[in-house]
Amino acid sequence: MSAHSLGVEVACDGPAGLDDCPDSAAISAQFTSRTTQQVRADGRRDGWTVRRAPGRLLDVCPRCRTKEPTR
């Protein structure tokens, strides 16, 4: 028996980055996308954005991107 990686899923971090996405959105990865960077590139084609946060990246779907982050 062998195991093969099915790739990764990138989910929306919500409008403020500290809350959940109201739509529980996730990027629809292409069949050939296997790494986080490839999946994020797929998401950018669909309107997703990536913001830097201390120690990580925040992935934001098109709906949450239009909402002003609250602090």
pLDDT at 3: 73
3-52 confidence digits (pLDDT tens): 766 678 889 999 887 788 988 889 887 888 888 899 999 999 989 999 88
Tell me: pLDDT of 69 over 60: no
Q: What is the sign, positive or negative, of the torsion defined by CA atoms of 41, 9, 24, 14?
A: negative
- Residue count of the chain, please give it: 71
Q: Residues 6 or more apart from 63 whose CB is under 8 A from it? A: 21, 22, 23, 25
Instruction: Please give the average per-residue pLDDT across 45-70, as a whole number.
Output: 85
pLDDT at 62: 92
Alpha helices (runs of H) in 1-71, residue ranges in sequence order:
36-45, 62-65
What six digits make up the tokens of 33? 């996308």
Task: Output the DSSP codes for 27-38.
Answer: ----TT--SHHH
